[in-house]
Structure 1
């Protein structure tokens, strides 16, 4: 760990020295007070070219890059795009497939590693909401990703009796990929990256936070979107409740997807104006106190235009989240924010007998991965115990799979920058988990300390990692780069929405708890007509639930593979001690 931190400090010093020398050369021998910075706030770094041929990468000795054998299987020059690059593919033992793209001209000394979603299983580079970052668009960054130790098998069976694959998926795969990628970059350009970044959403957001928590020296800047940091609760109680609470005594669905537009329209009618603008979006859904029972059918009313009492009950329970039969919360309050109803088709089926996404998520996770050293291909949702004891029995695997440790003091101390973001209409991962992590960060490190290295952005009308009715296209990587390289903290992010390829709305999003407020003049579809406003009486989130103690330090353990068994050290985990 400390080697990585010393390496980062040395790297930063070297990069700073290069910038000072350059400034002296261009300013007639007069040193500039600050390194040259572009309009985007990025360091004006010299563009470098490779010192070896692309094909030579396959012969590199990478034995010192990480503690496992590395095999480079191919290195191919790709010239079909606007910016040519060397595509490198290989394996970090035992089974981490990696892919690396190295610009063959104009590399600006930046390395970007991208995360993946779901249970991963493929090494496809996907920038997501970082795709519009100018150095990325220009093909000036070296970039890599990994499948995190397994290939395909989205049903979760890859994890069965394969503890090393579980460890690689939990945290090791991303870390060793960063080590190997940086080693290859250093040999390819004879120059190490001046700055290294990670960006990911969903499980990629969990991977991002896991890096900041377990390996704070790997990356200088991190963008973590809609993080599945509370992975075990997310893929058990959260998604199982989506299905179970919508079944009647005969196992039939109560609420079907045809009613979702009706519910969404009613929510907007009740709450759209609360943020000062009637625009089909809820600026902060938490201030909406919608009552689904107002939609219950009146006498002789057409059933397609209203809800039955049972349907209204389902809507209320889907919003509130999973509970025990005693009323104890099994997940943070507000499982699905008001305003997200159009995307509830993830768990509300179109017809009886259909299988929904939420069911598939839980089965893939619980049968093979969710319970340590337990495999049961016949496990069903009804086997999940909706009790306090069942909860603690279930979340034991959080000790190595989840990323909720709020003690980022080492990441902060070494200059790391973190941009957390989430869409308010996320139908898959509740924004409440990100809000609770943010709250835990501030309680652990102090509000001023957190403000010095981390920002949270919440995007109205945006669904899981994008999509939704609101402005859902934005760049999260450039703000992280600017903050890291020039100290320019992100004051706002401009998001846009397009219809038919034409931008029809832009909107600023400000660091939480500030919100965008219309200034009273001009189009409400123009970001220029909104200002930052911090509510005098901010919403107080209710984090009183069974697992609230998970958002603290000390629960994470190291995992080791022993044959077909996963060994967690220490054996008596924080979770076990706290469960009673």
Structure 2
């Protein structure tokens, strides 16, 4: 049986989209653009028609469902009863999709399924298939009531992070790059059709970090797989992200800067104990630029912080102040990776002002300790240098971040694998023309992945599609860290607005985010519009903020040596596994 096809007929009477391209006064638009969750289609519940047993699933005929004739085998099936933590009984299903080892894990409600399928992405280098609630779906009623069929995959391997899972296992590389998410969608929708006697009315994908890359990869490569896609903090420029981006932030913090790379772990200039002081100075200089002194920068690009104010000689030897060399490290971390002759390897602002307390990701606690950012690079390099030996002949150790070459030529050589792993193609016209809807989001204080890369993607995609508002929205959350956390409002529901847009044509005007620790809530509006305080009421209450669109765009450029990846001419590769090699079409 083939997977149930999508029916992409556009809903009649789409709601009038908000005009956000011109400068607005906050009070003028407050009532018209109150963030909303929207209304979902009234879909009747469908009960299961199959037994929830391993024998019943092993008897299913799924031949030809997955690409590359991938065979499907089921390994575990069990009935999970309703409980205080589980709103509805569901059938838990585990299986494997060949020819690699891509897992598929599903939850199928026994009763009360309202015909929606949500596939969850996974972060890091994946390697696990724990199936929890969709990312940032707090308050979503179909999630709360247990009405959804959900699924996920380990994307071809079982090692969460490391340098070796792809060695001599080429299908793991292909499945991680793009195939695993696609075949999981194919098989899941086929299973749904057999389990309930009908396929899903609506299919969604929701992921953050690498899950955000998976989301954009689905929209770019397989525009008919999902009706709606939520892509959070996407690691879509994966090769640059896991090489020069992370390596720069570690190496530039070592003594005698400019002689990159340096292997010493006992010569760091900046340590974690310095970060609170740096953060306090940034907040003091830039917090009030958005009209509210709350420790959160609503657009950090507007903060032109002078790192020389951190230097003891310049500030009267304040407690916690830095040396000039340490302040210069702060400037370089903020600025981003460059070649030895100054060419940008990533967009300006690798690390935003206001995120300093989370720089513990790449700034070590003490001399002699490895920074976590170093581990990201070391685990990725074999994947970046496609099909090259895991380590050089005669070498006792695998490649490390010290093998990166900080020249334009070295950078381009690293991008050899980008056609496989990058989800940077801005041509979403097939997805839009199929009726798909995309919500793209990122935290301004993301310590892992720079929001500038997502802004670059949004800008190039917008120019190519010309009318992105007909199918896409982009949200930047002030003060929010990677996929959540951070000082700003960091918990919200992106799934309900996405469903509402797909099912009833209600384009989301804004989202409301909350921070449970601080009690602060804020509206977040489609980029480039920001929330502004209306000068009355509590600054912790979202109701007291309204949209404001700056009259002029930011002066921060997203240009770099990798610009060519963000064009429709940078083709994504189609690859297979052959022996120990990943073989890609030209």
State the TM-score, normalized to the length of structure 1.
Answer: 0.90
Unaligned stretches of 5+ residues in structure 2: 13-35, 257-261, 392-396
* Aligned mates of 1:245, 1:177 — CA distance in 2: 41
The match for 2:169 is 162
Is 1:561 equivalent to 2:577 in the alignment?
yes
The match for 1:117 is 123
Could you tell me whether the CA contact under 8 Å between 1:58 and 1:75 is conserved in 2? no
Total equivalences in the alignment: 538
Determine which of 405, 413, 418 is the counterpart of 1:398.
418
Could you tell me whether the CA contact under 8 Å between 1:519 and 1:529 is conserved in 2? yes
* Aligned mates of 1:132, 1:202 — CA distance in 2: 21
> CA 1:510–1:300 in 2, change beyond 3 Å: closer, same or farther?
closer
The match for 2:516 is 498
Determine which of 226, 247, 258 is the counterpart of 1:240.
247
The match for 1:346 is 361
Determine which of 66, 79, 87 is the counterpart of 1:82.
87
Q: Which SS does the other structure have where 1:305 is aligned? A: coil
TM-superposed CA distance for 1:300, in Å, is 11
The match for 1:369 is 383
The match for 1:263 is 278
The match for 2:50 is 52
* Aligned mates of 1:513, 1:322 — CA distance in 2: 26
CA RMSD of aligned residues (A): 1.9
Q: Within 5 Å, give how 1:141-540 maps onto structure 2.
A: 141-152=148-159, 154-249=161-256, 251=264, 252-298=267-313, 305-366=320-381, 368-374=382-388, 375-376=390-391, 377-446=397-466, 449-499=467-517, 504-540=519-555
TM-superposed CA distance for 1:303, in Å, is 7.6
> CA 1:248–1:528 in 2, change beyond 3 Å: closer, same or farther?
same
Question: C-alpha deviations, 1:59-99, integer Å up to 9, x for none?
Answer: 21111322211001121100142211000000001211110
TM-superposed CA distance for 1:191, in Å, is 1.2
* Aligned mates of 2:285, 2:301 — CA distance in 1: 13
Determine which of 136, 143, 148 is the counterpart of 1:136.
143
Question: C-alpha deviations, 1:94-142, integer Å up to 9, x for none?
Answer: 2111100001110000000000001000111242212432101110000
TM-superposed CA distance for 1:538, in Å, is 2.3
Is 1:71 equivalent to 2:59 in the alignment?
no
The match for 1:104 is 110
* Aligned mates of 1:303, 1:471 — CA distance in 2: 31
Q: Which SS does the other structure have where 1:159 is aligned? A: coil
Q: Which SS does the other structure have where 1:537 is aligned? A: coil
Unaligned stretches of 5+ residues in structure 1: 17-37, 571-580
Could you tell me whether the CA contact under 8 Å between 1:373 and 1:565 is conserved in 2? yes
The match for 1:24 is none
Could you tell me whether the CA contact under 8 Å between 1:206 and 1:228 is conserved in 2? yes
Question: C-alpha deviations, 1:484-523, integer Å up to 9, x for none?
Answer: 0001001010000112xxx711100000010001111100
Moved more, 53-62 or 145-154: 53-62
Moved more, 195-204 or 63-72: 63-72
Moved more, 90-99 or 72-81: 72-81
Could you tell me whether the CA contact under 8 Å between 1:115 and 1:208 is conserved in 2? yes
Moved more, 380-389 or 218-227: 380-389
Q: Which SS does the other structure have where 1:362 is aligned? A: helix
TM-superposed CA distance for 1:355, in Å, is 1.2
Is 1:62 equivalent to 2:82 in the alignment?
no
State the TM-score, normalized to the length of structure 2.
Answer: 0.89
TM-superposed CA distance for 1:378, in Å, is 2.1
* Aligned mates of 2:314, 2:431 — CA distance in 1: 61
The match for 2:97 is 92
